[in-house]
Structure formats: C-alpha cells, structure tokens
Amino acid sequence: MYMENRILSANEIKKILNKLADQIIREMGSNIAVIGIKRRGAILAERIKKILDKKTKRNIECGSIDITLYRDDFSAIGPGPVVSGSELMFEIDDKKILLVDDVLYTGRTIRAAMDQIIDYGRPKMIKLFVLVDRTNCRELPIQPDYAGIKMIVGKKQIVEVRLKEIDKKEEVVVTDIK
C-alpha cells in the first residue's frame, strides 16, 4: 500500500511562483531567458515567463530542452528512448538563463541540462529554479538559486509534482513506497 501526503496545493504553488518571480527580477533583472526541462520543468518555465512578462512589462524569451540524450544513465533507459526535442528559438550567447525544473534530486538532470545549454552557446550565467529541492539526496554539487520548498525526503519516498496541463490536478505530494 502507498501512503500519499500533500505538501503543496494549487494555490500554494501559484503563490510560490509569484514570490520567487519578484526575487528573480531583483537578482537577475528583466533581461533574462527562461529554459524549462521537459516535461514539468517546461510547464513551470512557461508559467514563470508569464509572471515575469507581467511584472516587467517585457516579453521574456522562453524555451524548453529535452535532456534524454544528455543523461549519464542513457544506457539504463533501454532501447528506443522517447525524445521530444528541444525548443530554443533564441540565442544563448551572453544571456542570463533561468533554468527551471520541478524537483531537484541527485543533480544529474541539472548537469545534463547545463551541458545541453552550453552546447547551444555560452550564456553569461545560469541560475537554477526548482519548485521542490530534495536537499538530502544530492550526488553532484548542484544547488538551486531559487527553490519553492526545501525538503528532507527519505530514499523510499517519491516527490511528485502534479500539474494540471499533464495530470489534470495541481499539487505536490510525497508518497511512501513500501
């Protein structure tokens, strides 16, 4: 049996995105580009972009990347992985990049994403935004610049970000797997 515990509601997610958008503007300015890691990171990136657009009265560039081919466990994925492609319709060179993902766990996804971004060009800086930071599970020295919530989560627990665009509901839950 699985035990599920809701950590964030839809309203709390919305408040976090708005609050962190203010911090992003203060620290990075408005001349930035937002890149989300597919799938849920890309959705969060679009939401952050819209909030930043409204607050700065600018049209912030936004794109998404699929890190499937950059993963260091590519051989463990199995034959014929599904690759949805990256969508970066702007220059990366000398840009301030806000990299967005839903959950920071081991750091390996973020490393793969940074490798891919750098293959596109040489950004001025990359800052990391995550909705959930699993603080005790890192395998690489990667830390978020902006985190909605920081959690100590056991190895037998799963953090799941559910977004209405994919999951038809909006919440963050922790599930105990027995």
Contacts of 58 (CB under 8 A, 6+ apart): 30, 52
- pLDDT given for residue 161 in this prediction: 98
pLDDT, one tens digit for every residue, the chain (178 residues):
578 999 999 999 999 999 999 999 999 987 899 999 999 999 999 999 999 999 999 999 999 999 988 766 544 445 555 556 678 889 999 999 999 999 999 999 999 999 999 999 999 999 999 999 999 989 999 999 999 999 999 888 999 999 999 999 999 999 998 7
**Rounded distance between C-alpha atoms, residue 48 and residue 46, angstroms:** 5
**Local structure of 129: helix, strand or coil:** strand
Strands (E), 61-152: 61-65, 96-104, 125-134, 146-151
User: Residue 121: left (phi > 0), alpha (psi -120 to 50), or beta?
Assistant: left
pTM here is: 0.92
- pLDDT given for residue 77 in this prediction: 47
CB 35 within 8 A of CB 89: no
- pLDDT given for residue 155 in this prediction: 83
- pLDDT given for residue 74 in this prediction: 47
The domains located in the chain, with CATH, are 11-73+83-152 (3.40.50.2020)
**Rounded distance between C-alpha atoms, residue 6 and residue 109, angstroms:** 24
CB 65 within 8 A of CB 84: no
Half-sphere exposure of 120 (CA within 13 A, CB side): 25
- Residue 25 φ then ψ, to 5°: -65, -45
**Rounded distance between C-alpha atoms, residue 30 and residue 117, angstroms:** 20
| Bridge partners of residue 176, in order along the sequence | 3, 157
- pLDDT given for residue 71 in this prediction: 63
- pLDDT given for residue 84 in this prediction: 61
